[in-house]
Structure 1
Amino acid sequence: MLRPTLSVAATGAALLLLSGCVANNPTADAEHTAITVDSSSDACAIDTETAPSGNVRFTVKNSGDQVTEFYLLAGDGLRIVGEVENIGPGISRDLVVQARPGDYYTVCKPGMIGAGIGKAAFTVTDSGHDFEADADLTAQVATANTNYAAYVKDQIAQLVAGTDAFAAAYVAGDDEEARALYAPTRVHWERVETVAESFGDLDPMLDLREADLEEGQEWTGWHAIEKDLWPADAEPGFAAYTPEQRQALAAKLVADTATLNEKVQVLEFTLDMQTNGAIGLMDEVASGKVTGEEEFWSHTDLWDFQANVDGATVLYGGVRDILLAKDADLAATLDTEFAALQTLLDAQRDGDGFRLYTELSPAEIRAFSDQVNALGEPLNQLTATLVLN
């Protein structure tokens, strides 16, 4: 879900306002094209507006004083081809993509909501690049892509079924049943959340938080219903939704989820989409789950946390054999850090679910935050290691 990011190192910081594009010649070699992005308090200076097809590395340096992010969008200006988030002041992070020939856009999104600013055209010319992995790894890559596509379709199918049951309970006024179904159903969304984000406005229609609303924007989706189901933590004077409002919200949630299901049926994946997806899911943990801001009223953040980790683990597992052939040390580090994070999550289990996030101690929250950071650093090397090496 595209939302304001609060990194552990810069909690409370707003995102950079970025704009502008400076043309130049990128640095290129036989392995990839290197492009730099200088992100300051009032500009987004990209050193080229074009690149040859193949492996492209955007190195985004934050020279400002607030957290920022950078996106590469498809030619429709909506679908996310690649993104890099949680770039703190003075920090550089890489976005590595296997860029096919075509028209794209680069954009920065202050607040991680809306259309963003500084949207600029970016062209990938046809270099004749093969896009095939090394011959001995081609079959492994194809298998990993096929298996992940099947996983996504399965998770969304389960989301459809769960959403139908949840919406029926909500419309019928069976709030106890709807509350019981809320977190277990949302895990199917959270496991493949970065895939849903690639479909433009569909993601905010389903998962936008109230704090992220723009002026005049209609609020729909899971969190709009969440507030109505857990009104105790709502603002004073909050009025429960009318039956008509419930019906409208539930109908749209069901319809938008069905649309998502249709879209993923024809979705194909590449190696960089998988690895960047794993990185993106852990960014979701860092930006919302570990801060307790995702489930503002239900406090079921640990269900979401586990689901994001589930999805990242599946993505990593699909490419792990390929990584072993290229960087066994990085694979060992990732194995260790994923296991350590899972151990922390397992300690918070309560029956079939988890403790509420509000029940965690500051020390427990800090332990989660530290371990998310410990995993995030080596995970951010995954795409470059697999695609560029």
Structure 2
Amino acid sequence: MRVLRSSAVTAVAAAAALTTVSGCAEKSDSKSSDAIKVTASDDKCKVSTSSIEAGHVKINVTNKGSKVTEVYVYATGDRIVAERENIGPGTKAEIVATIKKAGSYEIACKPGMKGDGIRQKITVTGGDKQEKSNPELDKAVAEYRRYVQQQADETIPAAQKFADAVKSGDVDEAKKLYAVSRIGWERTEPVAESFGDIDPKVDVREDGVEKDQKWTGWHKLEKSLWEGKKIDEDDKKLADQLMTDLKDWQKRVGTAEITPTSMANGAKELLDEVATGKVTGEEERYSHTDLVDFNGNVEGAQKSYELLKPVAGKSDPELVKELDKQFGDLKKLLDGYRDGDGFKIYDDSIGKDDRKKLSDAVNALAEPLSKLAGAVAK
């Protein structure tokens, strides 16, 4: 779950993150007059219209504030339709989304990338707009849906082994199984986040916990295992709760609304996850298994891209050429940090130079990847 950090322990990392995320926000070159214009600041979220038609929707965002911001499109129940993170001060971003159903929606700006955001209501009219079917895109969506379900199905037994180790009080075994239990989640996290209520239960970090929210999930157990170095009765109950919540995710994955643009935007979101949490070492601050998550995010992003590539290659062959190169470069760089079947611990032994190389490679991929949704929406 993506949150900016304010603790003294992570002050230096946060400063580095601000540079990184600012670089991730692409300069929008869209001149389309029918795009929704969103002007974000530190205390306002101005939207150029209150009503739009269903179908492909283009949103041009300008951040005039002093903080890095995010922009979300929410359906009823805070179901995420589209999002773009890491929009740095003074930069612009373009979001291309597909909204199929009429109804009430909200556009939210989140200064500082936290909280519920500053929200503006919009109405979508038309609804259930039938566009000409593209067999290649239909196939991509169907294959991605199978992939997401497979990742959820494979996560359950891996997470159960982790939970069983916690419940037995075996700290060493639980530590060994922790990162492995998260891989399927990290590959498909944008789909899980689209439901709104699952991610805060399963993947929230301590400083991302909202007021009156109980801290549950993987990272609470991570802290007990590495910082507390012991397992108490509350942790054992949390292990059972983690499994309950993950099984809920597994059952609901099949109901997720998936479109070609949501796949493309989700790939970009996974790179944003890397930029704001993994490169900085904030995601796995106790276990330092960030590179396992990092790799999972990249694998998930690449899966979406590869499925959409046949269509994107026809509309924008130069973009596909660039994405092939940048995915290859990043994977090659990541492979240099492998340790047996896993990855090196992401601690002080991986210094500033290494982290900068990883950050630069993520940014080099994130910029062209942000154009993928537009390529498949043409």
Normalised by the size of structure 2, how large is the TM-score? 0.90
1:328 alignment partner in structure 2: 317
- Using the TM superposition, give the Cα deviation of residue 250 of structure 1 relative to its aligned residue in structure 2, in angstroms: 0.6
1:224 aligns with 2:220: yes
- Using the TM superposition, give the Cα deviation of residue 199 of structure 1 relative to its aligned residue in structure 2, in angstroms: 1.2
Unaligned regions of 5+ residues in structure 2, if any? 6-13, 23-30
Unaligned regions of 5+ residues in structure 1, if any? 15-26, 232-237
1:319 aligns with 2:315: no
**Does the aligned pair in 1 maintain the 2:278–2:294 contact within 8 Å?**
yes
Describe the superposition over 1:75-119 as per-residue Cα deviations: whole angstroms up to 9, x where unpaired: 22x1100001000011000111112222211122345444x1322
Q: 1:368 aligns with which of 344, 358, 361?
A: 358
Normalised by the size of structure 1, how large is the TM-score? 0.88
SS in 2 for 1:132: coil
1:382 aligns with 2:372: yes
Q: 1:140 aligns with which of 131, 136, 140?
A: 136
1:210 aligns with 2:210: no
**Does the aligned pair in 1 maintain the 2:54–2:127 contact within 8 Å?**
yes
Q: Aligned pair in 2 of structure 1 residues 216, 128: CA closer, same or farther (>3 Å)?
A: closer
Q: 2:330 aligns with which of 334, 341, 347?
A: 341
SS in 1 for 2:46: strand
1:234 alignment partner in structure 2: none
Aligned equivalents of 1:205, 1:266: Cα separation in 2:
19
Describe the superposition over 1:337-372 as per-residue Cα deviations: whole angstroms up to 9, x where unpaired: 000000110000000001111121211111001111
Q: Aligned pair in 2 of structure 1 residues 220, 112: CA closer, same or farther (>3 Å)?
A: farther
Describe the superposition over 1:31-57 as per-residue Cα deviations: whole angstroms up to 9, x where unpaired: xx3011111122111111111112111
Q: 1:194 aligns with which of 190, 193, 202?
A: 190
The residue identity in structure 1 corresponding to 2:373 is T
2:125 alignment partner in structure 1: 125
2:88 alignment partner in structure 1: 88
The residue identity in structure 2 corresponding to 1:337 is Q
Residue correspondences, number? 360
Bigger drift between 315-324 and 40-49 goes to 40-49
The residue identity in structure 2 corresponding to 1:91 is T
Aligned equivalents of 1:289, 1:239: Cα separation in 2:
23
Bigger drift between 295-304 and 89-98 goes to 89-98
1:263 alignment partner in structure 2: 252
Aligned equivalents of 1:316, 1:141: Cα separation in 2:
12
Aligned equivalents of 1:123, 1:50: Cα separation in 2:
5
Q: Aligned pair in 2 of structure 1 residues 28, 53: CA closer, same or farther (>3 Å)?
A: farther
Q: After superposition, where does 1:59-74 map in structure 2 within 5 Å?
A: 59-74=60-75
- Using the TM superposition, give the Cα deviation of residue 241 of structure 1 relative to its aligned residue in structure 2, in angstroms: 4.7
Describe the superposition over 1:279-325 as per-residue Cα deviations: whole angstroms up to 9, x where unpaired: 11111111101111100100000000000000000000000011111
Runs of 4+ in 1 over 4 A off after TM superposition: 5-9, 11-14, 238-241
Q: 1:250 aligns with which of 239, 257, 276?
A: 239
**Does the aligned pair in 1 maintain the 2:42–2:111 contact within 8 Å?**
no
**Does the aligned pair in 1 maintain the 2:58–2:95 contact within 8 Å?**
yes
Q: 1:180 aligns with which of 172, 176, 180?
A: 176
- Using the TM superposition, give the Cα deviation of residue 11 of structure 1 relative to its aligned residue in structure 2, in angstroms: 4.8
Bigger drift between 319-328 and 116-125 goes to 116-125
Bigger drift between 262-271 and 244-253 goes to 262-271
1:294 aligns with 2:283: yes
The residue identity in structure 1 corresponding to 2:143 is N
1:21 alignment partner in structure 2: none
Aligned equivalents of 1:73, 1:28: Cα separation in 2:
23
Aligned equivalents of 2:259, 2:128: Cα separation in 1:
18
Bigger drift between 213-222 and 333-342 goes to 213-222
Q: Aligned pair in 2 of structure 1 residues 12, 97: CA closer, same or farther (>3 Å)?
A: closer
**Does the aligned pair in 1 maintain the 2:326–2:364 contact within 8 Å?**
yes
- Using the TM superposition, give the Cα deviation of residue 240 of structure 1 relative to its aligned residue in structure 2, in angstroms: 4.6
- Using the TM superposition, give the Cα deviation of residue 3 of structure 1 relative to its aligned residue in structure 2, in angstroms: 2.1
**Does the aligned pair in 2 maintain the 1:50–1:123 contact within 8 Å?**
yes
Q: Aligned pair in 2 of structure 1 residues 339, 239: CA closer, same or farther (>3 Å)?
A: closer
- Using the TM superposition, give the Cα deviation of residue 246 of structure 1 relative to its aligned residue in structure 2, in angstroms: 1.7
Q: Aligned pair in 2 of structure 1 residues 12, 272: CA closer, same or farther (>3 Å)?
A: closer
- Using the TM superposition, give the Cα deviation of residue 202 of structure 1 relative to its aligned residue in structure 2, in angstroms: 0.9
**Does the aligned pair in 2 maintain the 1:289–1:304 contact within 8 Å?**
yes
1:75 alignment partner in structure 2: 76
**Does the aligned pair in 2 maintain the 1:205–1:220 contact within 8 Å?**
yes
2:106 alignment partner in structure 1: 105
Q: CA RMSD in A?
A: 2.1
Q: 2:18 aligns with which of 10, 25, 31?
A: 10
Bigger drift between 190-199 and 119-128 goes to 119-128
SS in 1 for 2:76: coil
